[in-house]
Amino acid sequence: MTDVLTISDLDVSFSTDAGAVKAVDGVSLTVGEREVLAIVGESGSGKTVTAKSILGLLPDTATASGAIVLRSRDGASENDVISVSGQTLRQLRGSDVSMVFQEPSTALNPVFTVGWQIAEGLKAHDPKLGRKAARAKAIDILRRVGIPEPESRVDYFPHQFSGGQKQRVVIAMALVLDPGLIVADEPTTALDVTVQAEILDLLRRCRDEFGASIVLITHNMGVVADLADRVAVMYQGELVEEADVQTLFSAPTDPYTKRLLAAVPRIGQKLEAAERRAPVDPEAEPIVVARDLRIQYPGRFGRPGFVAVDGVDLTIGAGEVVGLVGESGSGKTTIGRAIAGLTQVTSGSLTVLGVEMNRVRERRFAPIRKDIGFVFQDPASSFNPLLTIAEAVAEPLSVHRPDLDATTSRKRVDELLEAVQLPKAFGDRFPHELSGGQRQRASLARALSLEPKLLVADEPTSALDVSVQARVLELFAELQAEFGFAALFISHDLAVVDILSDRIAVLYRGRLVEEGTGEEVLGAPSDPYTRRLLASLPVPDPVAQRERREELARIVAAERAAEG
C-alpha cells in the first residue's frame, strides 16, 4: 500500500519576543490509502500545528524543517509541502489535501451563500468552469453530505444552518475537489453527542464512498475509538506513542497515554469528592421549584414566537446537584438563564430562593442576585479582556459588597484563586495569558466569590480537553462538598453529568422527557430519546463503540420507520 502522506522528522518553532518556542519536535508519521490516523493529545501538545503544517497554513512567525510529502490521488506526483512554491501549494490545497476546521461558524464567510463558497473553491482550481456547472456541483456535494433540500439550501447563508449542518457544509467544501487526504481538526468538539454521531458517520462515509484518507485531530478518546484505524499520541510537541487503535486502547505503553485514557469520563464512575458530599435534606426548603414552566422567544416581523421551554417541572433541593442534559436547542441554557434572572418567564411558575420569577420586578430580585453564581460555557468571551483575573474575580464583590476595601477584597480573591488551585500570582495576569482550563477555574472562582447558595454551570467543560476536564470536574466536586451550594449542571455529555449529579433531568425540544438518579436514567432509560442519547455517546473502547454504533443505527432506523 502506497502512503498518501509521509511526514519525516518535522520540527516547527515559533519566534516570539522571548525567543524561539518549539511546538513540534522531530515528528514522523505516515498515512496510507483509505486510512484514518488520529493524532491525540491535550491542548498545547502540537497536534493542530502538525495538522496545519500538512497544508502549509502556518503563520509567518513559524519555521518548519523536515519533510511533508503529499502524494496526489492518482499517484502521478509527489510534493514536499515545506519546500514547494506558494503557487504549487495553492494547487495542492483542495485537490490533494483539504481541511475541515474546528469551528464551522468561523470557517464560513457570513456574507456569502454556502453555494457561492463551495463554487469559489471549484473556480480557483478551474477558472473556465461556468456558473451553472459550479452550482450543479455544489448542489450535488451538499446532497452527498446529507443536507436536506440542497436545491434551495444552496442559496442559504451560514447563519440559516444549525451547528451540525454547518459542519456538513464545511466537509462538503473539503470534498468537492475529491482530495486524497482530509485533515479534520477537532471536527466534533463544538457539537452535542447526537449531532457528533452523525458527523462521525459522515467522516466514515468520506473514507468508504469518496476513498479519502483522514488525519483526525482530537482530544476525545471516544471519537478515536469510533473512527480511527491508527492512533498517534503527542505530548509537548513530541510523538510519544503510535499503535493501531485496538492495541492502544487495550495495552498502552507510554505513561502519558495511560493518564490520558484514565482521564476520560465514564458512565457509572463517581468522583471521591462527590461521594463525600453531605446527603440532601428532603425536609429543607428547595432552592429552585419550576412548575409547568414555559419560556417563549417572541417572533419577529409578524412570525409566531419560538417556544424554547414547554411545561417543565423541576426541583433543585438545598445542596443538591441536578444535571440537565439534552442536545443543542433543547432549552437547557434557557432554563439556566431563567433561573439566574437573565431570561424572562412567559408562563407557569419558577421560584428561585423563595422569589417567584414570573413577572418579577428587579427591586424584588436584586437582593438575591448575590446568592446565585453563574459559570459560562466559554470563559474566553465571559471575561473582560481589559481586566486582570483578580479584577474580574473581585467585580461581584465590588458590586454587592461595597463595604470591603481594596486590601480585604484582594485577600478574598487570593483565597478564591487558591481554592480553585490557581497560584495567587495569576491574579495579575490577563485572561488571554491563561490556558482554557485555567480560565475556566478563574470563572469558577468568580462565580463563588459571594458564597452563593445556587450555582448554574452552563457547559463548563465542553471546550476543554479530557485531562483538563477531569481536573475541573474534580475541583467542582471538591468545592461543592466544601461550600455546600446547590447546583444546576448543564451539559450534553451524559458521562460528565453522571459523575457529578445527584439527579439527572433529560430535555428534548423544550420538554422534560425523563428524570431520576444516574442509575435510573442511564442504567434503565425509559424514553426513546434518552436511549438514543446514550447510544450516541462515544466510549473509549473500539469493540464496545462498534456495538454502540450498531445499536444507534437500529434506534434511528426504528424512529424513521415509526415516522414513515
pLDDT of the chain, 564 residues: tens digit per residue: 478 899 999 999 988 777 888 888 989 999 999 899 999 988 778 888 898 899 888 888 889 999 999 888 877 788 888 888 888 888 888 888 999 887 787 889 999 999 999 999 898 888 888 899 999 999 999 998 888 889 999 999 998 887 788 888 999 998 888 888 999 988 887 677 778 888 888 888 888 888 889 999 988 888 888 889 999 999 988 999 999 999 999 889 999 988 888 888 777 776 655 565 666 667 778 999 999 999 988 877 777 888 888 889 999 998 889 999 988 778 888 899 899 888 889 999 999 988 888 888 888 888 888 899 888 877 777 888 899 999 999 998 888 888 888 888 889 899 888 888 888 888 888 888 887 778 888 888 888 888 889 999 888 877 677 777 788 888 888 888 888 889 999 988 888 888 888 899 999 888 999 998 888 888 888 888 888 888 888 888 888 888 888 888 888 888 777 776
The closest alpha carbon to 503, from 512, 511, 221, 69, belongs to 512
The closest alpha carbon to 490, from 335, 314, 380, 317, belongs to 335
Contacts of 4 by beta carbon, 8 Å cutoff, 6+ apart: 31, 32, 33, 35, 70, 71, 180, 181, 213
Structural contact between residues 5 and 31, judged by C-beta atoms closer than 8 angstroms = yes
The closest alpha carbon to 444, from 424, 425, 416, belongs to 416
Separation of alpha carbons 124 and 100, rounded Å: 18
Separation of alpha carbons 31 and 160, rounded Å: 36
Count of C-beta atoms within a 10 Å radius of residue 211: 12
Grid coordinates representing 39? 493524532
Global confidence as pTM: 0.80
* Burial 405-434, CB ≥16 within 10 A → b, else e: eeeebbebbbebbebbbbeeebbebebeeb
Separation of alpha carbons 545 and 562, rounded Å: 26
CATH number assigned to the domain covering 265-371+452-534? 3.40.50.300
Contacts of 128 by beta carbon, 8 Å cutoff, 6+ apart: none
Structural contact between residues 65 and 82, judged by C-beta atoms closer than 8 angstroms = yes
Q: Which residues pair with 454 in a beta bridge?
A: 372, 486
- Residue 564's pLDDT is 63
Separation of alpha carbons 349 and 337, rounded Å: 15
Q: Which residues pair with 458 in a beta bridge?
A: 490
3-class DSSP assignment, residue 199:
helix
3-class DSSP assignment, residue 520:
helix
Separation of alpha carbons 115 and 544, rounded Å: 39
For residue 370, what are the CA distances in angstroms to 226, 373, 464? Answer: 44, 7, 28
3-class DSSP assignment, residue 57:
coil
Q: Nearest-5° angle of CA 342, CA 435, CA 488?
A: 35
Matching fold, domains 3-96+181-262 and 265-371+452-534:
yes
Strands 230-235, 238-244: pairing kind: antiparallel
Separation of alpha carbons 304 and 307, rounded Å: 9
The closest alpha carbon to 517, from 320, 292, 319, belongs to 320
Residue 28 backbone dihedrals phi, psi, to 5 degrees: -125, 125
Structural contact between residues 555 and 531, judged by C-beta atoms closer than 8 angstroms = yes
Q: Helix %, strand %, coil % for the chain, to 5?
A: 40, 25, 35
Contacts of 351 by beta carbon, 8 Å cutoff, 6+ apart: 288, 289, 290, 357
Spell out the domain ranges in the chain.
3-96+181-262, 111-178, 265-371+452-534, 380-451
Question: CATH number of the domain at 3-96+181-262, out of 3.40.50.300, 2.160.20.10, 3.40.50.720, 3.30.56.10?
Answer: 3.40.50.300
The 10s digit of each residue's pLDDT in 508-553 is: 888 999 998 888 888 888 888 888 888 888 888 888 888 888 888 8
Separation of alpha carbons 316 and 352, rounded Å: 9
Separation of alpha carbons 23 and 44, rounded Å: 8
In the predicted model, what is the mean pLDDT of the chain?
86
Contacts of 85 by beta carbon, 8 Å cutoff, 6+ apart: none
Grid coordinates representing 76? 502521478
Structural contact between residues 483 and 515, judged by C-beta atoms closer than 8 angstroms = no
